[in-house]
A and B are shown apart, each in its own frame.
Chain A
Amino acid sequence: MAEQIEAATLIEAVAGFLAELEPELKGRRAFHAKVAQNALAIVARELAQAPQAREQALLAGVLGHDAPLDMLRADICKGLRAGTLGQGTPGLIAALLQVALAKCAVDNPRYATFRRLAV
């Protein structure tokens, strides 16, 4: 273990604190405390799963060159807007499906479409 208190440990501690606080809150604040715990769970999954590295590799594979993720995304979008990329581009649909799965695994693994595809 690199550190005693890693980022994931801090997230877990803060989420625990919010859960403790929640029964004392009412209405909108109580609802927001729940949403905040969900948001922390997203952060924890993002740290553990590193979906951006996977996305970068998949998009670079489609384009045939590597670059920072933001630039790869922008290149794909530019190609789709200009019509130089499209549904027929080899590997595009398969890669974007894998990217979407990796992102949803982080953001909402309980989502029905994710569960249908992840089985």
Chain B
Amino acid sequence: MAITPTPEQVAALIGAPVAGIEALSGGASSATYAVDALRPDGTAWPLILQCAATGSVPEGGLPRRDQALLQQRMHEAGLPVAEVVRVLEPADGLGEGYVMARLPGEALAPRWLKLPEYAAARDGLTAQVGAVLAQLHAQPLALVADLKLPTGSTAEALGKMFANYRRFGVDSPVFDLAFAWLKERVADRPADTIVHGDFRSGNFLISTAGLEAVLDWELAHLGDGHEDLGWLCCNAWRFGLWDRPVGGFGQREALYAAYEAAGGGPVDRERVRLWEVWGTLKWGIACLQLGDDHVSGRLKSVERAAIGRRVSEVELDLMHIFAKGDV
């Protein structure tokens, strides 16, 4: 279990007084807290503390220390990312994690995608996220050479995803068709770019002015930058707004134009389509994984069991792509 911190502990961590701590979310192995601290001049210093039991690495993800360092370097490089204030050390006794700035904004995509007060923010968002991805993908690998970012060629990554699918002992003709489709088309590209790995509408912090921050860097890895462009356009992140393929708020061509205008290099339409199929399949396998939490008894819950049935949505999206060209 994660350890619940006291205000005194957090104050010692950041070297500033702490007025309050509120648990925002907690799981079996990690927890997030809102911390209200005070700066030396007495003004409010809103922070987030993320901590987890020692040694618990997020599924397929980055050790938390490396995640914090990556986030901090991206912040310093000028990307919209919350500043990391303090990385937890073993001597702190709070497990693994970090303290970062708590920025104002709405993180629940179904809210900012639909509420009228975010209309102006949505209008500018496609250009903003295109430019952010261009900037991220332009960062030199030397910047992260000391971090344990997972890496591997696209062919290796496809092999890993297939092995993951087979773990569940499920035979989905649609998933196997998608694997065959990908195998035929995937070039064995080297991993030469920093990829966010979970760049979707659910991981944006949005104010009425637009994008405030890109959240959740725990699936960052080295790979093909087109992966981020494709993942962002998967139907699962549109929350029903299917005719706006970019996260439920924009059009693909506008995204690619913004990416290219910001120096992201030419967007290969076939390759980005491949990553949309890949991303759709990846979300489908995540649904299998969540369903397996229930079936295996690891986490028995009606919610996990029900998510297993969302595989049908993914199968239909994939068949829509194969029968009609895209979704």
Contact = CB atoms under 8 A, between A and B. Distances in A.
Contact of B309 (A42, A59, A100): A42
Interface residues of A, number: 37
A100 B319 CA distance: 7
A35 interface: yes
A36 B316 CA distance: 23
Interface in A33-54: 35-36, 38-39, 42
Contact of B313 (A87, A97, A113): A113
Contacts of A42: 306, 309
Q: Is the interface of B mostly helix, strand, loop or mixed?
A: helix
Contacts of B319: 93, 96-97, 100
Interface string A103-116: 11011100111101
A108 B312 contact: yes
Interface string B174-194: 101101110000000000000
Interface residues of B, number: 32
Given A32-B301, A70-B171, A77-B176, A112 B240 contact: yes
Interface of B: 171-174, 176-177, 179-181, 235, 238, 240-242, 301-303, 305-306, 309-310, 312-313, 315-320, 322-323, 327
B34 to A, nearest CB: 17
Given A32-B302, A113-B317, A94 B180 contact: no
14 contacts: A76-B173, A76-B176, A81-B180, A83-B180, A87-B180, A93-B319, A99-B173, A100-B174, A104-B316, A107-B312, A112-B242, A114-B316, A116-B320, A117-B320
A101 interface: yes
Interface string A61-93: 000000000100110110011010011000011
B301 A80 contact: no
Contacts of A87: 177, 180-181, 322
